């Protein structure tokens, strides 16, 4: 199973809080059979968020949860219709969210590898602009899906 699929992407999220945005993206994970306990996963993500912001800057947040509530390593991607306050490192509001889901018992540190690969791509302004302007899920997959899916293959 790939880390990301078109079913895990929503480019028109309406949310008025971090919690609401995480819930909506978490629903994509749940509906795709990637979670075995939606509430436990969401609580794990929110608790992690309280430790330190996952708003990395550039209008991007990468909230994540590592818990037994996750069946398979996955990334849900969402673009917000209206940017949200996320306490980002650069003080900017967030418009694009990458929600990571990693089983507690997974080998190694897949979430760190995925975070690293995402960060390596997201530091490039032209790449971020293409993501922000993507018109559909397949465009997002063509931009980032191959990178994420290869990252997971490398650690299995």
**64 an active-site residue?**
yes
Continuous H helices in the chain? 18-31, 38-51, 110-122, 125-133, 137-140, 146-155
Catalytically annotated residue among 16, 64, 111, 124: 64
Distance CA 42, CA 31 (A): 14
Backbone angles phi, psi at 10, to 5 degrees: -135, 115
Instruction: Enter the DSSP assignment of 7.
Output: G
Rounded to a whole number of angstroms, the CA Rg of the chain reads 14
Torsion of CA 1, 138, 145, 31, to 10 degrees: -40
Residues serving a catalytic function are 64
């Amino acid at each position: 199973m790939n880390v990301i699929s078109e079913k895990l992407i929503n480019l028109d999220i309406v949310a008025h809080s971090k919690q609401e945005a995480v819930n909506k993206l978490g629903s994509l994970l749940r509906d795709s059979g990637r979670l075995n306990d939606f509430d436990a996963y969401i609580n794990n993500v929110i608790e992690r968020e309280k430790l330190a912001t996952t708003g990395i800057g550039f209008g991007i947040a990468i909230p994540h949860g590592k818990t037994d509530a996750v069946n398979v390593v996955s990334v849900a991607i969402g673009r917000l219709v209206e940017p949200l306050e996320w306490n980002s490192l650069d003080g900017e509001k967030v418009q694009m969210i990458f929600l990571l889901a990693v089983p507690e018992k997974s080998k190694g540190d897949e979430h760190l590898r995925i975070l690293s690969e995402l960060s390596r791509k997201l530091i490039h302004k032209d790449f971020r602009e293409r993501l922000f302007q993507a018109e559909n899920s397949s465009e997002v997959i063509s931009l980032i899906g191959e990178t994420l899916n290869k990252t997971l293959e490398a650690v299995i």
